[in-house]
């Protein structure tokens, strides 16, 4: 059943667990998350990124995603816009059936440099005012998360700016956001940390921010673990993904204990899906019907999504 982010995250806070917010860019991804959530009896969020889909008509894509959730989910699932870069992105999403939106105003859309605190507040507040009037909940961001969309842009791990707790509280007071993405040592994309480097999330910082704003749900972006077996399969079959370290499950569990309630996952799902498709096409090169080679991708994505639901503690909560 379609649900909204705030209701889902309020339950997480009450019972001390987190949900996965899973990036999707095709309808197969949407169905994979729904199948995983139904199987695990887990609430979840399904999150397209603004401007990221293989379909020509973005509004139609968003509406199809919503219809799938309404029709096929037996558990609470929200449709969340990930990384709305502008007020217009978020307004379009509110008008197209999203149950929550993220306004990512921590950086300039022009050159990617950090926006001032005041600019971030101004854009976020404008979005909150519009979204709340439509019954749509809002995630903002304070501090910045490293990495690029798929590890391929200029933004690097060195860009991580840890969230200042006092500033986070002020930001929430000024904007009224329902959820807040914080910089706590994570990084977007397939290339996160050098291979062998042990990433270390700022658990004490998360705990401190949570104690200051317990009513606002903390979000970790850039939290994929970068499964070695998926990267190995992709590279074995002519892929070229740089070896990299991600965020280990144990650290995500510690972050949840410290107060994180929403954990974004894109890269791990993409790696799993791509590994399944590449392996199938390499081993069965005469296959040309999409159902043959998409199925192993979909199955791998369902598996990794189900595993995360168990790690986050959301399995069995719906
Ligand atoms: P990953 O790239 O680590 O999966 O993070 C995705 C994300 O945070 C999208 O908002």
Kindly report, residue by residue over 137-175, the tens digit of the pLDDT: 999 999 777 665 443 333 455 667 899 999 999 999 999
Length of the chain: 318
Average pLDDT taken over every residue of the chain = 93
For range 249-277, the mean pLDDT: 97
CA 237 / ligand 1 centre spacing (Å):
24
* Chain centroid offset of residue 247 CA: 14
Q: Which tokens go with 164?
A: 């200042």
Say what the pLDDT of residue 197 is: 76
24's torsion region: left (phi>0), alpha (psi -120 to 50) or beta?
beta
CA 221 / ligand 1 centre spacing (Å):
5
DSSP class of 47: E
Say what the pLDDT of residue 154 is: 35
DSSP class of 161: B
For 31, the 3-state DSSP assignment is: helix
pLDDT single digits (tens) 106-119? 888 888 788 999 99
Contact 181, 140 (CB under 8 A): yes
CB of residue 99 inside a 6 A radius of ligand 1: no
List, in order, residues 6 or more apart from 281 with CB less than 8 Å away. 237, 287, 293
CB of residue 265 inside a 6 A radius of ligand 1: yes
- Is the pTM above the cut of 0.75? yes
Largest CA distance in the chain: 59
pLDDT single digits (tens) 48-83? 999 999 999 999 999 999 999 999 999 999 999 999
Contact 287, 293 (CB under 8 A): yes
Q: Whose CA is nearest to atom 1 of ligand 1?
A: 222
Q: What percent of the chain has pLDDT over 90?
A: 84
- 310 band by pLDDT with thresholds 50, 70 and 90: very high
pLDDT exceeds cutoff 90 at 196 = no
Q: Which tokens go with 106?
A: 């921590």
pLDDT single digits (tens) 197-226? 777 899 999 999 999 999 999 999 999 999
Q: Which position has the token pair 């954990």?
A: 263
Task: Count CA atoms closer than 13 A to 256's CA, side-chain side.
Answer: 28
């Amino acid at each position: 059943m379609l649900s909204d982010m705030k209701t889902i995250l309020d339950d997480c806070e009450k019972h001390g667990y987190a949900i996965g917010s899973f990036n999707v860019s095709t309808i197969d991804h949407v169905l994979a998350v729904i199948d995983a959530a139904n199987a695990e009896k887990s609430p979840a969020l399904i999150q397209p990124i603004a401007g990221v889909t293989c379909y020509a008509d973005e509004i139609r894509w968003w509406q199809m995603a919503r219809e799938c959730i309404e029709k096929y989910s037996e558990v609470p699932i929200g449709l969340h816009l990930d990384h709305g870069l502008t007020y217009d992105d978020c307004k379009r999403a509110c008008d197209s059936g999203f149950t929550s939106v993220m306004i990512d105003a921590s950086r300039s859309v022009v050159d990617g440099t950090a926006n001032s605190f005041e600019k971030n507040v101004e854009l976020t507040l404008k979005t909150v005012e519009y979204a709340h009037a439509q019954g749509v909940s809002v995630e903002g961001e304070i501090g910045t998360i490293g990495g690029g969309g798929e590890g391929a842009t200029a933004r690097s791990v060195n860009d991580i700016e840890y969230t200042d707790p006092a500033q986070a509280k002020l930001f929430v007071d000024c904007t009224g956001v329902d959820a807040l993405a914080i910089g706590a040592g994570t990084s977007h994309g397939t290339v996160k940390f050098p291979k062998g480097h042990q990433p270390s999330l700022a658990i004490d910082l998360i705990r401190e921010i949570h104690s200051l704003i317990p009513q606002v749900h903390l979000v970790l972006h850039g939290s994929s673990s970068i499964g070695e077996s998926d990267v190995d399969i992709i590279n074995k079959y002519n892929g070229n993904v740089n070896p990299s370290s991600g965020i280990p499950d144990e650290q995500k569990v510690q972050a949840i204990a410290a107060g994180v309630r929403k954990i974004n996952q894109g890269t791990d799902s993409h790696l799993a899906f791509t590994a399944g498709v590449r392996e199938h096409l390499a081993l069965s090169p005469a296959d040309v019907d999409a159902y043959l080679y998409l199925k192993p991708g979909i199955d791998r994505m369902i598996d990794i999504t189900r595993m995360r639901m168990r790690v986050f503690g959301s399995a069995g909560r719906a």
